[in-house]
Structure 1
Amino acid sequence: MDLSFQARPFAFDRIFTAAPSAPPGRAPDRDAVSLAIELELLQADIARRDADHHAELTRARADGFEAGLVHARADRETALLAAIDALHVGVESLTETVEETRAQLIDDAADLARAAATHLAAHTLALDPAAPIDAAIGRALVQVARGTELVVRVHPDLLPEIEARIAVRQGNDRRRLRLHVEADETLAIGDARIDWDEGGSCLDRAAREAAIRNEFETLLDHNSLRS
């Protein structure tokens, strides 16, 4: 038996050759199909992620706009309330000022009215000092009985004027007027004293001025209460 053998070199390398491509008309192998499917899935995932990103961005913008709008409304309401408060304060201050001005105007008007009334009364007395006395004689004749004797006392300077007025009054009255005029130096021009048996009447400037002041004060007090 022959134990001899022939040595051969051992091949340590391997030679790989590319797989032959599928000829036309044949379906691609399984690896190519898998890669195509994975590529489509990847593209779909990318598209979905893009859509989600766009949706999140749109939502974030909407939320930001809404938050800004709410903040702007809050700021507007705060500013509006502050403006209303300031307006109320201004109106209250203006009302107080108007009331103070109105009260001052009323006081000024009252002073002016008193001064004007006093001036007019003095002016009337200076123009015709006998007129108030003649009017007082007329009032006295209405109060007394027919035929009552009246004594009229006036300043000596007014004696002729009062006598002339009594003559005119007697000429206009069918009854006999028993009127006598006497001079009294203690009376001021325009003042008079009328006496009869049952009573008398005094006419003086101080009383007339006091009556005028009282009338104006009563009128002003009434207007103040009504306002």
Structure 2
Amino acid sequence: MSAPAKFLFDMDFAAPAHAERQASRAEIAQLIADAEARAFRDGFQAAQREASVESDRRSALAMEEIAIAMRSLASNFKAVEGRVETEAVDVAVAVARKLCSELIAAEPLTEMMALVADCLRHLTSTPHIAIRVNDTLYDRARERIEDLARRSGFEGRLVILAEPDIGISDCKIEWADGGCTLDRAATNDRIAELVERYMAARNQAGYSAGRGS
């Protein structure tokens, strides 16, 4: 068994074994610079993250505003498209009426003779036919109608009457069990009614489609 070590009271425990070296000014400056660099880097990265979040938020808001604007534009476009189509149809009808009026003024008997010829072709055995025409066209119409009757082989009695109330180029054809009428005013009214119904149906379809989108 080894002898216990003697306790020596001459050791100075207050004195450090090795004296700590004080940092130089250059080292302190470098430490400060490193700390500032880390702080700047951390702050810059945090600012970048915050800017990215804000950018995403602004982008989302912008996209939402664009979507709202596009829906509004589409709705307005449908309304404009409907108005343009309505105006286009109105113009087309007006042009057609104008052209029809010009043609009738130039050849007032054309449509009348076409209708009379068709009737005479199918009514050759009818005993009696009465044809009413505008009084200002009576002489011209009678000559052409009688010629059509001879060429069609009609053998019945043909009566041609002048009527001041019948429109230019219009006529009424009557026989024992039937009749037909050429009435341009009634035809124009019918065309206007059909156009109005068509446009109403189109507008209703566009409105329903707009609500469904």
| Fold similarity call, TM over 0.5 | yes
Moved more, 157-166 or 147-156: 157-166
Per the alignment, residue 147 of structure 1 pairs with 125
- For residue 121 of structure 1, give the secondary structure of its aligned residue in structure 2: helix
Per the alignment, residue 75 of structure 1 pairs with 54
- For residue 189 of structure 1, give the secondary structure of its aligned residue in structure 2: coil
- For residue 21 of structure 2, give the secondary structure of its aligned residue in structure 1: helix
Alpha-carbon displacement from aligned partner over 1:147-188 (angstroms, at most 9, x marks no partner)? 224221112322233234335545764x34644423233323
- Root-mean-square deviation (CA), in Å? 3.6
Per the alignment, residue 12 of structure 1 pairs with none
Q: Distance in 2 between matches of 1:162 and 1:191?
A: 11
Per the alignment, do residues 157 and 108 of structure 1 end up closer, same or farther by CA in structure 2, a change over 3 Å counting? same
Q: Distance in 2 between matches of 1:171 and 1:43?
A: 140
Per the alignment, residue 66 of structure 1 pairs with 45
Number of aligned residues: 190
- For residue 42 of structure 1, give the secondary structure of its aligned residue in structure 2: coil
- 2:133 maps to amino acid: V
Alpha-carbon displacement from aligned partner over 1:115-166 (angstroms, at most 9, x marks no partner)? 2233223222222221221122234346x44422422111232223323433
TM-score when normalising by structure 2: 0.69
Unmatched 5+ stretches in structure 2: 1-14, 207-213
Per the alignment, residue 18 of structure 1 pairs with none
Q: Distance in 2 between matches of 1:96 and 1:51?
A: 66
Q: Distance in 2 between matches of 1:139 and 1:214?
A: 27
- For residue 180 of structure 2, give the secondary structure of its aligned residue in structure 1: strand
Per the alignment, residue 187 of structure 2 pairs with 208
Q: Are 1:89 and 2:68 matched, yes or no?
A: yes
Name the larger-Rg structure.
Answer: 1
- 1:202 maps to amino acid: T
Q: Distance in 1 between matches of 2:50 and 2:143?
A: 95
Cα offset, 1:195, TM superposition:
0.7
- 2:140 maps to amino acid: E
Unmatched 5+ stretches in structure 1: 1-33
- For residue 131 of structure 2, give the secondary structure of its aligned residue in structure 1: strand
Q: Distance in 1 between matches of 2:51 and 2:131?
A: 91
Per the alignment, residue 137 of structure 1 pairs with 116
Q: Distance in 1 between matches of 2:118 and 2:190?
A: 17
2:164 is aligned, of 185, 189, 212, to: 185
Per the alignment, residue 17 of structure 1 pairs with none
**Structure 1 segment 35-54 matched on structure 2, within 5 A:** 38=19, 41-42=20-21
Q: Distance in 2 between matches of 1:60 and 1:172?
A: 113
TM-score when normalising by structure 1: 0.65
- The percent identity for this pair of structures is 23
Moved more, 72-81 or 132-141: 132-141
8 Å CA contact retained: 1:117, 1:212 = no
Per the alignment, do residues 47 and 189 of structure 1 end up closer, same or farther by CA in structure 2, a change over 3 Å counting? closer
